[in-house]
Chains A and B, each alone.
Chain A
Amino acid sequence: QSVLTQPPSASGTPGQRVTISCSGSSSNIGANYVYWYQQLPGTAPKLLIYRNNQRPSGVPDRFSGSKSGTSASLAISGLRSEDEADYYCATWDGGLGGIFGGGTKLTVL
């Protein structure tokens, strides 16, 4: 059971907008930046969002991140089949060190 809570699954149809939530506490999300990773099947994870809402170069602007209080969200607009992957949130926790959410498996229907 992860300290950061994500829904285990999410789904959407092509073109749709999907959001994935990440819930934490005042010692982690409430006090630190949130990062998001995408892991395609059989590959290493890739940084998708850093410092709550910043996109690394090369990440499409269909991906966006936000944070409010002790929760964060990843939104994917204009859903595409290649977005089917596992998504993880991550942040620093003052007592635990680095922590990841349990991951959300996104299915494109």
Chain B
Amino acid sequence: EVQLVESGGVVVQPGGSLRLSCAASGFTFDDYTMHWVRQAPGKGLEWVSLITWDGTTSYYTDSVKGRFTISRDNSNNSLYLQMNSLRTEDTALYYCTKDLLYRAFDLGFDSWGQGTLVTVSS
């Protein structure tokens, strides 16, 4: 059974930094692209970033480019999101998701974690 467990969400001040983690199990981690998707309180879903199965390619939504960095450690089946220069509009539940496709990527996420809440507030 696929399991994705996020951690690291806390309350942080504007301008601060945070690193989210996602521990993956139940599948061959280094065969799948991983994504972060967020959902602000009471709002819709927003794709944030992806990193390919081998860690060589990453993409970001425009609003986080230059501030967030996605990474992975295939030896430890872990996904990360380093978040710098945080803004109040980054407040959201952050989901770690697994891509449906083997060694490819698209917007099909067949497994989701339970999410970790990031609150940016002074």
The binding surface of chain A is classed by DSSP as: strand
- Assess whether B44 is in contact with A88, with CB atoms less than 8 Å apart: yes
CB contact under 8 A between A91 and B45, given known A97-B59, A97-B60, A98-B50: no
How many positions in chain A have a CB within 8 Å of any CB in the partner chain?
Answer: 26
When distances are taken between beta carbons in the complex, the residues of chain B under 8 Å from A90 are 45, 47, 107
How distant is the Cα of A51 from the Cα of B50 in the complex, in angstroms?
A: 18
* A103: nearest chain-B partner, CB-CB: B44
* A2: nearest chain-B partner, CB-CB: B44
Q: Is B106 an interface residue (CB 8 A)?
A: yes
CB contact under 8 A between A35 and B106, given known A44-B95, A98-B35, A100-B46: yes
Number of A-B contacts (CB under 8 A): 68
How distant is the Cα of A91 from the Cα of B105 in the complex, in angstroms?
A: 11
When distances are taken between beta carbons in the complex, the residues of chain A under 8 Å from B100 are 47, 50, 56
CB contact under 8 A between A92 and B45, given known A45-B112, A98-B61: no
CB contact under 8 A between A100 and B45, given known A44-B113, A44-B115: yes
When distances are taken between beta carbons in the complex, the residues of chain A under 8 Å from B107 are 32-33, 35, 90-92, 98-99
Encode B16-40 as 1/0 by CB contact (under 8 A) with A. Answer: 0000000000000000000101000
Q: Is B66 an interface residue (CB 8 A)?
A: no
Q: Is B82 an interface residue (CB 8 A)?
A: no
How many positions in chain B have a CB within 8 Å of any CB in the partner chain?
Answer: 22
Encode A68-109 as 1/0 by CB contact (under 8 A) with B. Answer: 000000000000000000101011100011111111000000
How distant is the Cα of A100 from the Cα of B95 in the complex, in angstroms?
A: 14
Q: Is A37 an interface residue (CB 8 A)?
A: yes
When distances are taken between beta carbons in the complex, the residues of chain A under 8 Å from B106 are 32-33, 35, 51, 92
How distant is the Cα of A39 from the Cα of B37 in the complex, in angstroms?
A: 13
- Assess whether B61 is in contact with A44, with CB atoms less than 8 Å apart: no
How distant is the Cα of A44 from the Cα of B59 in the complex, in angstroms?
A: 23
Rank and list the top 8 A-B pairs by shortest CB-CB distance, nearest first.
Answer: A98-B47, A44-B112, A103-B44, A90-B107, A50-B108, A100-B45, A97-B59, A35-B107
